[in-house]
Amino acid sequence: MTDPAEAVWPPPSPRRLPGRARRRTDVLREYEKFNAERRRRILPVLWPFFSPDPDQYFRWRVQLDCTCITELMTPGDQTPPSERQWHAPGDGEALPPGQLCCRHDDDGHAPYRKIAAWRDRREIAFPADPVEPPEWVDADVWALIRHDEPHTSAFWKATLDCGHVEDVVAPALEWKPDDGLRLVDTARVKEMTEEWERLCASDPTLQSEREREHTRRMLAAGWPMPRPEQLCYTCPHARRIVAYQRGGWLVPRGLKPQPESQVQPSRVTLERRLHRVEAEAEHLRVQLAERDEG
Ligand SMILES: [Zn+2]
Ligand SMILES: [Zn+2]
């Protein structure tokens, strides 16, 4: 996991990495298929910017700090992948330069990170909640938190101090970051804190260590809304690129990119096609011979 509190990392170095790159023709075929699909939704005048020809791309192999090795492509061969920004999977937000997501079964829980900057806002409309409580809550609590009318909430994208981006629900539809955090009055926070301390003492398993520390910090800060620290769901899977190896152009210089149908078939494909043609020829020879005899 990347940690904003950790020391400055040594710069990633070019080096020979174990294993081999994927076959260039396979990668090219995949890119062309993907790009043809993408171009159906993009005006041709914008293709150079949003869906470039394959001859623009340079291939790299990179090693991450989880030791996994993966392949990346960059427009041009000048800037190494460790100095570029990559996106979280599934059209996710841009990660800090030189990071990639790589999920492992033993990735830790999401940590709390402080909000460093507010970005854009959007509204989401929700239907009324069902009357029946969902599984995760009992009926009394549900009666208190249930929305019996359709409602709209505002969400702000916030950059956390780890450089990752999370959605934060606003305390009110009209709230904006310049309004500042809303605090609960001091006397009420004191009451809440005493009540919460009593609850924790009577049931030490009430909250996980992480949640208990978060609640303590928020009570000490006056129970601010929105919370100035948020869970970062990217941190557990974000890895740094620690080394890279140059892999060559996706379309070797001097070779014109060939459309999909003209890409050179593999030896196995050609052999299979030859066997089929030979079998067909043999079949025709037998038919001819039978006809002559008949
Ligand atoms: Zn990994
Ligand atoms: Zn993070």
DSSP output for 79-142? S-GGGS--BPTTT-PBPSTTEEE---TT--PPPEEEEEEEEEEEEEEEPPPPSSPPTTS-HHHH
Q: Cβ of 156: how many Cβ atoms within 10 Å?
A: 19
Q: What is the pLDDT of residue 277?
A: 77
Which positions of the chain have pLDDT values less than 70?
1-9, 255-265, 294
Q: What is the pLDDT of residue 215?
A: 95
Q: What is the pLDDT of residue 1?
A: 53
Read off the DSSP letter of residue 41. Answer: T
Q: What is the pLDDT of residue 5?
A: 47
- Cα of 217 to ligand 2 centre, how many Å? 19
- Cα of 2 to ligand 2 centre, how many Å? 7
Give the CA angle between residues 196, 172, 90 to the nearest 5°: 90
Predicted model pTM: 0.76
Residues with beta carbon < 5 A to ion ligand 1? 66, 68, 102
Q: Whose atoms come closest to the Cα of 69: which ligand?
A: 1
Mapped onto helix, strand or coil, the DSSP state of residue 150 is coil
Q: Whose atoms come closest to the Cα of 62: which ligand?
A: 1
The distance between the two most distant Cα atoms of the chain, rounded to a whole number of Å, is 110
- Cα of 82 to ligand 2 centre, how many Å? 18
- Cα of 237 to ligand 2 centre, how many Å? 9
